[in-house]
Amino acid sequence: MNIEPRVSKPSKRRFDHVFSIYLSLPILSWALYDFANTIFSSNITTIFFPFYLQEAIGNNARMEQIASTFISYANALASFFLVIFSPLFGVMIDKSSQRKKPLFIFTMITVGCTIAMGLFSFMSSEQTIAGLPITLIIIISLFVVAKFFYHSSLIFYDSMMSDLGTREHLPLISGFGVAVGYVGTLVGLTIYPFIKEPNFHHAFIPTGIMFFVFSLPLFLFVKEKKQQPQLNTKKPSFVSGYLEIYQTFREMKLYKPIFTFMIVYFFINDAIATTIAMMAIYAKVVVGFTTSMFILLYLVSTVTSIIGSFIFGYITKKIGAKRAITLVAIILIMALVMAVGAISSWMFWISGSLFGVALGAMWVTTRTLIIELTPPERRGQFFGLFAFSGKVSAIIGPLLYGTITLLFANLGSIASRMALGSLLVLAVIGLVIHLRASYEVTNRS
């Protein structure tokens, strides 16, 4: 009699289990919101709005640097408003069980402003303010509002992740969301073949529509977990958010690891957020990329972002979030060194690819560590605090970049290299603090 031995296949079972998690309707719908908002981030913040401003303002080497200043300051202004309001958003999450409703409202405002940017871009006006057409000023203002509400929505969106799985699965869910998000970049760029230079404003309306369509699954299929509201059921006021932040800072000794990481996040996010906003115009003005070359580079960096987010989901699970963040910061620094010193296109190709890996991996690792370090009952407030820290840094970085390009505009492309070099310094500072930090995981839920 031939008896075949039983063969256990734990690895196959684990794979099937993880795959079933990814394909569950709530998680897939949640990840599709990353898909939707990344279309806005890539098409508007990184590519077509900077190109549009460069065409509208930069008619010589000096004015190209001034165009960089306009882009930097517009991003800084959006971050300034987020600094003011993000603490209130965190309190809203903790004091009520509602996250989908504010997320829906903020998404619709972002979509509306993006479409309005497109509508105004087709209008012409002879009226000017400070030498700029009034329609251009309106478009810049709409961009500021759209970016503010886009980033505000992420506070509510990120805090929803903890409802989707166990602590063990959160790194994988986070990595999956980021990877799906960067696939959104590829879909968003499908409009590029239909846009003829210099009509970059033709991208605004299609981008707003795609953001709306792909955000719908989250609102339709993700059920919000009913949470026990705090005993104090009074509506949170504007001041109460800051009072709770002040109280949290007073209790800093109780939450020392999370505050230390907030400082690290401040510096590293400063370098990342500003690079995202300025990489398109830097590639064209400094390295000499054409629009088509940059779009192709951006596609390549998007692919490396997808790879980085997936791989670092598993790396984070294997070696822990702190060590994973160390690796990501080193990759980011290598990318910035290559970009600052790029004297030929191949160097910028390598830089862009490395930056893509760092970008995709950073959101995976940081979101995981924040959830590990924060107590569940105050998670919303700490996500608000990290938005607060990140957006303060997103004021400083663009202001620093834009001021350098403004002050040294007469130097041409050297001004942009100096500005990007300042971001490299910030990333190194963040890494040094991170390496010296001791994080103790306080949340075991």
pLDDT digits (tens, 9 = 90+) for 356-390: 999 889 878 887 888 788 777 677 667 767 766 77
Dist. CA 160–CA 332, nearest whole Å: 28
At 190 the pLDDT is 92
At 1 the pLDDT is 41
The total of other beta-carbon atoms located within 10 Å of residue 117's CB is 27
Q: Which residue type does 177 have?
A: G
Kindly tell me if the per-residue pLDDT of 87 is higher than 80: no
Dist. CA 349–CA 339, nearest whole Å: 9
At 182 the pLDDT is 73
Interval 210-226: pLDDT, tens: 999 999 999 998 887 66
Dist. CA 154–CA 103, nearest whole Å: 8
Average pLDDT over the chain, rounded to an integer: 83
| Extents of the domains making up the chain | 26-223+244-436
At 4 the pLDDT is 41
Confidence of residue 252 (pLDDT cuts 50, 70, 90): low
How far are the Cα atoms of 20, 94, 97, 246 from residue 230, in angstroms, in the given order?
Answer: 34, 7, 10, 19
Mean pLDDT in residue range 338-355: 93
Residue with the larger pLDDT of the pair 324 and 241: 324
The two tokens of residue 343 are 């004297």
At 440 the pLDDT is 66
Confidence of residue 116 (pLDDT cuts 50, 70, 90): very high
Mean pLDDT in residue range 154-171: 75
Identify the CATH number of the domain defined by range 26-223+244-436. 1.20.1250.20
> For residue 363, what are the contacts with CB-CB under 8 A and spacing of at least 6?
174, 178, 309
Dist. CA 111–CA 21, nearest whole Å: 30
Mean pLDDT in residue range 60-85: 86
Share of the chain above pLDDT 70, in %: 83
Mean pLDDT in residue range 251-275: 84
Which range among 191-205, 255-269, 296-310 has the greatest average pLDDT?
A: 191-205
Share of the chain above pLDDT 90, in %: 38
Kindly tell me if the per-residue pLDDT of 18 is higher than 70: no
